[in-house]
Structure 1
């Protein structure tokens, strides 16, 4: 749909967002002639898209108003989406199962394994001391991956470079001092060199909708694959 096309069947869209991840789509839908209301939970993100779309302070007050409700994240949004579907609302979003796939790294890995997909060797930890002891006994290059809500703090993901694991040990010690209360669970994954590819498609509850998106994320802050990891600095993508 081009920028000048207006819908002949306007709907009312309610967006429920934790971190203002989907403001651009909400703005596009508004430009197409639909009505849009937008809720943002995270206080530090509440000013994102100010002046572009109408904000609301409590999404629950606008459920009856909405024709379509969109939940753009995990961390409990799948349960919200399910509850709204059970009440007869049209919802675009996840489910408790898809939330767990994203939020619980070990569960997601084991689900992949269950369906015949090769996974990288990993260990789950709830104690930094235990992880430090593990690396000392099994030196090597590891990736530190926080689980749960801490996954959103992309700067905490650390990719080890040293074969003896000393850089990973240093970071684990630092996290133990400064981040232990914020990272109750994390994963050490054996580092594997190669090109990371993501494959995704929308799912309508019964089958996947084509085309399929294939993308290559660039996460490092600086050119040359240098610097800390970010959410994404850029992405190259193709469509089936």
Structure 2
């Protein structure tokens, strides 16, 4: 088989790494890829938002399966384009992908299907949004409606901070058209968990639960990022809570989407807040693998991913997925200043030394090659992953590997996995 991976980040490197282990795969292509992916695949320079050009390439190269990493091509309708040409592609349709593409649509679907979520209002007028915020008080959450690369959510601790977020999103339009509307919702307190399932439109199989760390600094302080680290399994989701998530979140959402004529195929990712007073609440839905959750989930997955994707597309889901019982952990190495402004072009060293440690794999996220050297080229630069017989060993292994790597201004959280230690 020839497989095409769409995307250029750490999630896509992890997907390519997992796909490369499949017995079915003869050749892998990536659009546009990165230097880490280039070690496993042929990287093709096509804009990942140019759907027609990507489909033309897939037809020309006789690609047997395309796997989409990021949300933007899914929201733009890449699956519809591929399917109209008879090309096999793993992911939801444009209409189903609105669950991530529009936070307002997602909240409306949750309300319609009875999925537990925070109280909310949707606004297309900044003054109306501000009036509602003043009425409700703080803390309160402001979300840009459209895609904002994981940075469109402001958890405002004061009314002033929330009003500033409205100006930033709707008036200054820092996220462009993604800020045409906002969702303003109550601020939930608790512990977050990521729950992902793979669905063929009717049935689903759960993936291993993982826990992401959104805030940039230790102790969950500072602004939200695309994710600073993850681990799997996630003890916060007990077997009882997992059953509750299936019954109250996943099943009504999949049933509701199918009944409205937009069945969901691919990865459905529920961002869950486990609260003390309201039980489980859905913060958001995503329509693809999380980043960096994919990095730990795929490290633990023993089942052939290519076979899994093929069977999902064919509406023939297997009964279960086999998992490594060990713990996987990922620590994100970021550029100084991320998630704000950061410099690029810093020379990276030590990856080979890090990967000499047993069960360590380093995935490239924001890297490039310049004058024959590997350099930083993004906010999140590398994803250092490790396995361990338990969370203690996994933490020890991953931070030993992190210590081997260096680039100027390298920033990372030193407490990834600490929550799991408390749960035990």
Q: For the superposition of Structure 1 and Structure 2, which TM-score range results when normalised by the shorter chain? A: 0.7 to 0.9
Tell me the residue number matched to 1:51. Answer: 38
Tell me the residue number matched to 1:191. Answer: 187
CA distance in 2, matches of 1:77, 1:118: 25
| Aligned residues of 2:3 and 2:27 also touching (Cα < 8 A) | yes
Counterparts of 1:1-240 in structure 2, within 5 Å, are: 11-17=1-7, 21-30=11-20, 32=22, 34-40=26-32, 47=34, 49=36, 51-52=38-39, 53-56=41-44, 57=46, 58-64=53-59, 65-77=62-74, 79-150=77-148, 152-154=149-151, 156-162=152-158, 165-175=159-169, 178-179=172-173, 182=176, 183-209=179-205, 211-238=206-233
Structure 1: gaps of 5 or more residues:
1-10, 41-45
The 10-residue stretch of structure 1 (139-148 or 106-115) with the greater mean CA deviation from structure 2: 106-115
Structure 2: gaps of 5 or more residues:
47-52, 240-424
CA distance in 2, matches of 1:36, 1:194: 41
- Considering fraction of residues, name the structure with more strand: 1
Tell me the TM-score normalised to structure 2 length: 0.47
Q: In the TM superposition, what whole-angstrom CA distance separates every residue of 1:192-231 from its partner, at most 9, and x where no partner exists? A: 111223321111344213x433232211101111111011
SS of aligned partner of 1:110:
helix
The 10-residue stretch of structure 1 (51-60 or 186-195) with the greater mean CA deviation from structure 2: 51-60
Q: Flag the structure with more relative contact order, 1 or 2, with Cα contacts below 8 A and sequence separation at least 6.
A: 2
Q: In the TM superposition, what whole-angstrom CA distance separates every residue of 1:154-204 from its partner, at most 9, and x where no partner exists? A: 1x4211223xx2321233344455336722222111111112233211113
Tell me the TM-score normalised to structure 1 length: 0.78
CA distance in 1, matches of 2:215, 2:194: 16
CA distance in 1, matches of 2:118, 2:36: 39
Task: Flag as ranges the 4+ runs of structure 1 deviating above 4 A.
Answer: 18-21, 174-177
Aligned residues: 220
